[in-house]
Amino acid sequence: MQPFLLKFDNSLKKQYIDCMDNAVKHMMVPIHEDDIGFTKVRLPYGWCSNMAGGFPILHEGINYLTSEALFQALRFAPDSGHREAIAEIKSPMAAKLYAKKTERLKEMIIEQRSDLDLRNMILCVQMKVDQNPQLKQLLLETGDRLIVEDTTARKSRPDLFWGAIRKDDFWCGSNYLGNIWMMIRDDLK
């Protein structure tokens, strides 16, 4: 999956240009006023966030409260005990912090931001939609609009892999999470 593949302005000829102090190359896509940029779960389109509660997912007999919890759990072996431990955690951020605790990182069987990690994210979002039918309608109501995980205002370093930032009149980043939502939306049509 290429970043922003689903709505890339062809006039830019898919050019890659520097967007973060010459540190990382990402695709840049012009911002349109009807783009959907989701940031916080309480704001419009917050249901697109993996941190959004109210959309439980049952996977291999274990119930996860959020897609973030399932995503973090899938980074560990099924028999490690970590999947069950993560499923018990009520907060999606706490589940993420549990998984990323230094001593647990060496136990992960999926490298972060790898192809397998990306496949797991697709699985998590697809299961979130499949098991929470109200999301299908919400997703279809987005039409053909660009969906972006807007990480511009994050206090820590903005995530240019799963999301993108606003830079001048462009979205800058890979926006894999937004692309996954648009891919699933296209499959629903």
DSSP code of residue 150:
B
Reported as a single tens digit per residue, the pLDDT across 88-124 is 999 999 999 999 999 999 999 999 999 999 999 999 9
Smallest CA-to-CA distance from 113 within 158, 75, 155, 147 is with: 75
Reported as a single tens digit per residue, the pLDDT across 24-47 is 456 789 999 999 999 999 999 999
First to last CA, the chain: 19
d(CA 80, CA 188): 35
Indicate the range of 40-44, 63-67, 85-89, 153-157 predicted with least confidence.
153-157
d(CA 74, CA 60): 11
- What sign has the CA pseudo-torsion 114, 52, 3, 137? positive
CA angle 82, 56, 117 (to 5 degrees): 50
Q: Quick one: pLDDT band at residue 17, thresholds 50, 70, 90?
A: very low
What value does the mean pLDDT take over residues 63-86?
A: 98
d(CA 90, CA 66): 9
The owner of tokens 């704001």 is 43
Query: What pTM, to 2 d.p., does this model score?
Result: 0.87
Residue 28 pLDDT: 86
CA angle 46, 177, 97 (to 5 degrees): 75
Query: What is the chain's alpha carbon radius of gyration, rounded to the nearest angstrom?
Result: 17
Q: Quick one: pLDDT band at residue 18, thresholds 50, 70, 90?
A: very low
